[in-house]
Structure 1
């Protein structure tokens, strides 16, 4: 059994530090600090490390990814990037992939890593350019066949998310619909289900909660029909449906789906998982649960889930951490903890100075409106002044599209 790339990288780093599995287990426990009380006992943790490194477990949870990063003193991008020195190709995952597929997968991993830190506004034109230059010519008349359509679907979904991040939701909707069609031609049903989850997210964002639930359920049905285990993808779809029910005010159905999503996420992944679908992990689930609780007015629960999401995100997950802190700030305001809310907001500002995400900035604007009622307090007035300055400075980041703006539909202005 071949070990996945991340496992090869972890084993190489462990050996470079002259750590055996027992010392590695101790380092992980030290990295967890006070939050390590619920870790398994030492021998069980050692056995888990050996299973991870041998490839018997093909997915590593977000919590343990974070602990390994802390233990090794490395960023998530450096430790888990498949292009990192010392990593080896995962033969089980890549044996059926052509050299072109591998090139596309490596490009996608690079784009995803950059997008997490700098946002879609900076990268949209770059990824559209890759689609036009490297992928589109292979769709017709090339030798890649269905694989080219699958790659095109994956990159088209990616630029849909980048358009959404830059505040261009109509363009994002067009990209997602096109990606779904391309995935259908390519025959990747798992990728289709994943794209339906993205469409569900956008529908809820646009106020179409019924559509959000319908699209998520369509995705889970499609996934079930593949008759293979894809717990991360199924958990994501269940979470999307839960968020739709939160908007509809159905707290019972929302809670039930979130419990199912958590239980599902802990199951073992099938080796046949689509390599094109974006990741979904414990941090993402915690963030979406926090958002759902906030919508339902369950503010203490929203605070708890948001805190969990923040703790599960390394420093290179800039946008994700920002979203979690924004939810935390909203919940803190609702609980009357204004000073703490200002601190959370200032943390978002500091972390996102180089992030081109209109979604983040709009949520900061919404937070500003809620804090305005408390401006007479000195800490609030000072915090709002910092926010106003930051928002003015960021306006230049949203010159939408560049030379490729026409690729996603009509030319757009920010």
Structure 2
């Protein structure tokens, strides 16, 4: 967090009272996170406790156990000089954690990431990576589940960094994740990380590398029922690379293979993997169609997945909506595009995603060419400008660790 974060008066008061529960509450309600506070369940997930337990911590007597104080202070990355207790040396060995704890943590972080964006979670991910990576590196034969947990956390941190606008850091995490996944010998996890590298290459405009990474992943993932979602994701990402290169026939062929792979999956994939479902494939398909100039088909694909009041996966919904606005503007349906953009701004007011903010900036550029359409467009452009100023904090550098 920026240094000014910790000088916010409610936080300073809670720290002076030596009550970490009140510190956590002030942290969650900090204006840094926008109009809505961080959900109690989200922060509880960072700590590995339940929402009810965190509620008791925030509203009950001060916590006195040094181990808990130390762990929670590290998770929140509270500056040592503001604390009333001493943090142990940072080079002290971290106790190994088992695979089940890793699964619970990854589920909590993944769920929170979809709702509030990577910028809010990256620091917590760094803290937890150390708990798995250090024991794995120091052990001559680390448990396979520990390697998989460390790989999954690195991949998740890579997505959070990318979502925060830092592709360089994201790429470093993906490469660390790939090395750990290879060491774990889990083909599905190796394939998934190749997919993440493919996405990043596509985002950076390197279509050839995007296709190559996806192909490498497909070469590793065996053709089995549990591999269906991973193979579908890799085929879809390969299609995106083909679309960026203008290879329409190859793109459509790869999308058909993605559809088939997703339909063949009959068993649940390992919980270490990120989900890839029908909505995910539709978004990837729409991306490809827009890049190929098939606006009508892209609009038809997206219209079926944009809900009125999404309650989960806010970032995916936000990205689907910005793609749909792009399609609407390409069809000169400006009034509908403006209405949907307003709803997207409302939807994302608490979402800490530089990627979504970048998509809104792209929409602003597209809307300028329709400024003479009527009063709706200038008013929306004014609102977008205010939104960019309010969310300028998303461009701040990520914490290091």
Contact 2:225–2:264 (CA under 8 A) maintained in structure 1: no
Change (3 A) 1:326 1:163: same
Are positions 1:155 and 2:143 aligned together?
no
Query: Which residue is 1:44 aligned to?
Result: none
Distance 1:336 1:313 in 2: 25
**Which of the residues 158, 164, 167 maps onto 2:165?**
167
Distance 1:314 1:351 in 2: 8
Contact 2:229–2:265 (CA under 8 A) maintained in structure 1: no
**Which of the residues 366, 369, 390 maps onto 1:373?**
369
Cα distance, 1:147 vs structure 2: 2.4
Contact 1:286–1:308 (CA under 8 A) maintained in structure 2: no
Query: Which residue is 2:10 aligned to?
Result: none
**Residue-by-residue CA offset, 1:73-96 (whole Å, 9 max, x unaligned):** xxxx99xx9x999xxxxxxxxxxx
Query: Which residue is 1:250 aligned to?
Result: 247
Q: TM-score, normalised by structure 1?
A: 0.71
Pairs within 5 Å for 1:229-378: 229-270=226-267, 273-311=269-307, 314-376=310-372, 377-378=374-375
Cα distance, 1:268 vs structure 2: 3.0
Contact 2:225–2:265 (CA under 8 A) maintained in structure 1: no
Change (3 A) 1:322 1:289: same
Pairs within 5 Å for 1:56-135: 100-135=98-133
**Which of the residues 191, 198, 201 maps onto 2:199?**
201
Which segment drifts farther, 139-148 or 346-355?
A: 139-148
Contact 1:216–1:237 (CA under 8 A) maintained in structure 2: yes
Distance 1:231 1:396 in 2: 39
Alignment size in residue pairs: 311
Cα distance, 1:227 vs structure 2: 5.5
Query: Which residue is 1:400 aligned to?
Result: 397
Distance 2:349 2:328 in 1: 23
Contact 1:128–1:159 (CA under 8 A) maintained in structure 2: yes
Contact 2:132–2:150 (CA under 8 A) maintained in structure 1: no
Distance 2:308 2:380 in 1: 26
Cα distance, 1:137 vs structure 2: 2.8
Change (3 A) 1:145 1:313: farther
Query: Which residue is 2:214 aligned to?
Result: 216
Distance 2:226 2:115 in 1: 30
Contact 1:136–1:152 (CA under 8 A) maintained in structure 2: no
Distance 2:307 2:255 in 1: 19
Contact 1:154–1:276 (CA under 8 A) maintained in structure 2: yes
Contact 1:238–1:257 (CA under 8 A) maintained in structure 2: yes
SS at match of 1:230: helix
SS at match of 1:207: coil
Cα distance, 1:313 vs structure 2: 9.0
Query: Which residue is 1:34 aligned to?
Result: none
SS at match of 2:221: helix
Q: Unaligned regions of 5+ residues in structure 2, if any? A: 1-40, 52-95
Change (3 A) 1:268 1:393: same
Change (3 A) 1:231 1:292: same
Cα distance, 1:103 vs structure 2: 0.8
Contact 1:139–1:145 (CA under 8 A) maintained in structure 2: no
Contact 1:284–1:309 (CA under 8 A) maintained in structure 2: no
Cα distance, 1:348 vs structure 2: 1.3
SS at match of 2:246: coil
Contact 1:203–1:212 (CA under 8 A) maintained in structure 2: yes
Distance 2:228 2:318 in 1: 26
Distance 2:224 2:288 in 1: 29
SS at match of 2:165: coil
